[in-house]
Amino acid sequence: MRQMKNLTLILLLILAHVGVKAQYGIGDQATDFSLQGVDGKTISLSDYTDAKGYIVIFTCNTCPFAVAYEDRINALDKKYKALGFPVIAINPNDPEVSPKDNMAAMSQRATDKNFSFPYLLDLGQEIYPQYGALRTPHVFVLNKEGGQNIVRYIGAIDNNHEDANDVSERYVEDAVDALLKGAQIKTEKTVAIGCDIKVKK
């Protein structure tokens, strides 16, 4: 009986480890989720029956990079929601480790910055490891294909976090534009400096 228990524990540990290690690649199917947003409502991808896809952005209140991108995230949502690609923002940080990322602070931020998109909290931190988000902000563009949400772009929003007026590559816009046209995405993956995710201790 005790052996059984140990075995279960080992299996659980292996599963947990795999869960942390997993990271979506281009072409993988992305998981749906049910997470609470700043307005108290629980949001899932499947709620958006008319969407052609999603711009899922792992972001937060506290990272200066995330803050630098707030206006650009709002602009992405305003532009692409109408075209069928709404922005869904998810804060992956543990609110105990990073108190300024708790639901009350998120709600305040969303009001102050007039977020036009849902801002959800990954409470329990079960979603971001499945996507393989490493930092904030980290974008996953999903495209609905045959009822599944397929990952088509992973990375940064654009190539200049410091200055929105001095951007020469708009990776997310280019990716969504290509999907809307049914064209090949030129840059499917990018890396960028960002803040690490605050993991529950």
Partner 1 sequence: MKKLGSMMLFFICTVYSLFAQDIKTVKYEQMMETIAEKGNKLIIVNFWATWCVPCVEEIPHFVSVFNQYKIQADLDILFVSLDRAANLKEVEGFVTVNQMPGELLLLDDAKRFNEWIPKVHPDWGGNIPATAFYRDGKLLEFHPTALTEEELTHIIVKLKQS
* Residues engaged in binding partner 1 (CB under 8 A): 63-64, 134-135, 155-156, 159-162, 166, 168-169, 190-196
CB of 142 to partner 1, least distance (A): 19
Cα–Cα distance for residue pair 108/114, rounded to 1 Å: 10
Neighbours of 86 (CB within 10 A): 22
CB of 161 to partner 1, least distance (A): 6
CB of 194 to partner 1, least distance (A): 6
Sign of CA dihedral 166, 170, 173, 177: positive
Residue in this structure with the two tokens 């996507």, named with its chain if needed: 131
Q: For partner 1, which is the closer residue by CB, 63 or 150?
A: 63
Beta bridge partners of 140: 56, 154
Q: For partner 1, which is the closer residue by CB, 27 or 64?
A: 64
CB of 156 to partner 1, least distance (A): 7
Residues 151/142, Cβ–Cβ less than 8 Å: yes
Q: For partner 1, which is the closer residue by CB, 123 or 134?
A: 134
Q: For partner 1, which is the closer residue by CB, 52 or 100?
A: 100
- Sequence-separated (6 or more) residues with CB below 8 Å from residue 83: 52, 176, 180
